[in-house]
A and B are shown apart, each in its own frame.
Chain A
Amino acid sequence: MANIPQKIVHQYLRHDKKFPHVWCAGCSNGIILGAIIRAIASMELNRDDIVMVSGIGCSSRMPVYIDLNTMHTLHGRAIAFATGIKMHKPNMKVIVVTGDGDCTAIGGNHLIHAARRNLDLSVILVNNNIYGMTGGQCSPTTPHGAIATTAPYGSIEPDFDICKLAIGAGASFVARTTAFHVTEMQNYIQASMEHPGFSLIEVISACPVIYGRLNKKGGAPQMMKEFRDNSIPQTAVDKLPPEQVEGKIIRGILRREIQPEYSAAYADLIKGVQESAGGEQ
């Protein structure tokens, strides 16, 4: 997959429709969209068979730019809409693009229940630690002490560890990476789409214009450097002393297990019911 030319991205964009895009300079969303496209291209999937569903927020504007079956829904509800699509057409690949506020605040209930059911959705959760579209309010992943427009004295709330939340709720594939680690991200996205069950990839992303400014993180390059220097692969965690792990972004596939998948279980249920009904006749 490493040999795919960059031009592949252009084959999947809706250039004639909706550009220029809405994202600020330095935003990671374009990088993530690129990784999603390259993952789809490398899997050689028929794009008619892929649906991309999003909620509301900066990252949720992604579907409008990509030439798939696309749906931009309500704040927090992307996974609920995706559940309806996947259950009616289980053979379609359903990708959900969502943000930290969208998926873990207003949409937290849908996240944990889709994870519990282990419905085969690929959720790409873009975590920029803030509500970007509304101008910088604190989200469930705004770090303790960080500044937001609704936490002008620093957030006093503990922040969510999204991956732990997903694992706790029963997600069968959970991974974390950052917008800096582009190839890793692409590989994880592909792995999540190949995984038969609920998968969640948390992508730590840079919002230099809002989060970065409020918290004096420097520009986009500085934030990307921070992702590079301040993250460690999960495989290295056990080998390092605890003080070197503390406060670091742990990257890697944190869980990958094959468990009964919901739409397949439902298909079995239908089969069982119809067979027993047929036997009675």
Chain B
Amino acid sequence: MLKKTTSNSTKAKTPKAETLKKKSSAKKAASKIVELESNLERKTIIMQGNEAVAYGALDAGVNFFAGYPITPSTEVAEILSAELPKRGGVFIQMEDEIASICAIVGASLAGAKSLTATSGPGFSLMQEGIGFAKITETPCVVVNVQRMGPSTGMPTSPAQGDIMQSRWGSHGDSPAIVLYPDSVKESYELTIRAVNLAEKYRTCVILLMDEVIGHMRESVRLPDMANVRVINRIKPTVPPHWYKHYDENQKYLSPLASFGEGYRFHVTGLTHDAHGFPTNKAGEAGEMMDRLRKKITYNIRDLVQIESHQMDDAKIAIFAAGITARSAKAAIAMARHEGIKVGLLRPLTIWPFPDDAVRKMLRDVDTVIVPELNQGQLIHEIRRLTKDKSESDVLSIRKVNGDLITPNEILRKIKEVI
């Protein structure tokens, strides 16, 4: 589970191009998405990370987008404004990001698969709505293409400053599911996975992107629709008077009715009982909070995805996410060329944090280097899991000036520790 090499369930849908019975399968599954087929023909093309997010959303079945323009995520909205109407879906440009998150939560409760895309300042504005989606267990996806902050910061420059905000941004205590791609291809895959996890776990899933990946163009071959695994929310099968909006089914994943289906449930941001009605009773409040936590912690193995790159014989490990992991891979290639045994552990799921994989990494290597485009966020998670390593064994490379961490900077750090 932990040591798969860039492995995940959505990957299964991207087999080698040669083996695909491309035309027949694509046509069969894609009668409603002729446009995407004809526009892109599902052959290898050059696209941006933001484009990949938009097409990932469409392939995952997203049929509702509400958003507000903000650099560097705007392309997602622009593409979906053109593509969603073709598929009968809704695109609406709201008056601000607060309205955007609220609209996608409302639409989701009416039965839509909904998504919004934003960046730093907009992500800050959405935090209250994200908390509402979490407490009401309403599926939705927020794509945050990170830019350098705080505040307006540098809108077209990369930073990884929202790692902790994506975990703790909304007030109150609630778990988070946050995915973090490192390439254009993976932006597509993790967007689908984000939508799938939102539907399955009935929560707001966040896709953290780097500005550089959002705007970087890479060659990508999208899988044919027949190979895309799409998860839809479980619908209730009980008669309306038996329906509990928050039913502790197996592993805390409960069916979800939509407005207009006869279930006439109540949704509130207040702490509520299993039927959704507000409560002040300690027992019921505790149960609700437990359910929010347990549906994540009981399903860690399904949620956590990591990439383990050249770690088998590594004495030094680099722990990095997103674009920084790309620099790390280049640094590793250079270091290995000089005979230095160094590897990379990369979280695709950044929250819940891959504790087990990190513990194993800490056992297996002498030194861990954590490069990140912030003033130190991931490093604290690594140190939290360290029992026998001193501070000098877990090293940080931090940079927040709008530039990326280069392979050479990482290589220099590697050489410092050997």
Give residues in A with beta carbon < 8 Å to B: 14, 17-18, 47-49, 51, 53, 63-64, 67-74, 77, 80-85, 87-89, 91-92, 109-110, 113, 266, 269-270, 273-274, 277, 281
Contacts and interface: CB of A to CB of B under 8 A. Distances in A.
B95 A110 contact: yes
A148 B96 CA distance: 31
A85 B106 contact: yes
A49 B264 CA distance: 9
- Contact size range, B: 35 or more
Interface stretch (B52-60, B109-117, B318-326, B327-335): B109-117
A109 B125 CA distance: 14
B64 interface: yes
Contact of A67 (B94, B102, B105, B264): B264
Contact of A83 (B38, B103, B129): B103
Given A80-B102, A89-B110, 15 more contacts: A51-B259, A69-B265, A71-B109, A72-B270, A73-B132, A74-B128, A81-B102, A81-B103, A84-B103, A85-B107, A85-B110, A88-B112, A88-B114, A113-B99, A273-B85
A31 to B, nearest CB: 22
A84 B104 CA distance: 6
Contact of A89 (B38, B105, B259): B259
B30 interface: no
A74 B135 CA distance: 12
B92 interface: yes
B388 interface: no
A104 to B, nearest CB: 15
Contacts of B265: 69-70
B283 interface: no
Contacts of A270: 85, 88
Contact of B277 (A64, A73, A113, A274): A64
A80 B263 CA distance: 23
B66 interface: yes
B90 A266 contact: yes
Contacts of B43: none
A139 B182 CA distance: 48
A53 B106 contact: yes
B416 interface: no
A14 B278 CA distance: 13
A37 B346 CA distance: 56
Nearest to A53: B106
Interface in B76-107: 85-86, 88, 90, 92, 94-96, 98-99, 102-107
Q: Is the interface of A mostly helix, strand, loop or mixed?
A: helix
A17 B277 CA distance: 8
Given A17-B275, A270-B85, A84 B260 contact: no
Contacts, number: 138
Closest 7 CB pairs of A and B: A84-B106, A80-B102, A84-B103, A84-B107, A81-B106, A80-B99, A72-B268
17 contacts: A17-B275, A48-B264, A51-B110, A53-B106, A73-B102, A73-B267, A74-B102, A74-B128, A83-B103, A84-B108, A85-B106, A85-B107, A89-B110, A113-B94, A113-B95, A113-B99, A274-B88
Contacts of A85: 106-107, 109-110, 259
A89 B277 contact: no
Most chain B CB within a 10 A radius of its CB, from A69, A72, A273: A69
A81 B108 CA distance: 10
Interface of B: 34-35, 38, 63-64, 66, 85-86, 88, 90, 92, 94-96, 98-99, 102-112, 114, 128-129, 132, 259-270, 275, 277-278
B86 A83 contact: no
B90 A74 contact: no
Contacts of A81: 102-103, 105-106
Nearest to A110: B99
B264 A72 contact: no
Contacts of A18: 277-278
Most buried by B among A82, A85, A269: A85
A49 B88 contact: no
B242 to A, nearest CB: 14
B312 to A, nearest CB: 48
B261 A83 contact: no
Contacts of A84: 64, 66, 102-110, 112, 114
A281 B34 contact: yes
A13 to B, nearest CB: 13
B103 A80 contact: yes
B267 A71 contact: yes
A262 B194 CA distance: 30
A60 to B, nearest CB: 10
A83 B268 CA distance: 17
A73 B269 contact: yes
Contacts of A14: 266
Given A88-B64, A109-B95, A48 B261 contact: yes
B278 A77 contact: no
A88 B108 CA distance: 8
Given A70-B267, A87-B64, A109-B96, A77 B110 contact: no
Contacts of A69: 259-260, 263-265
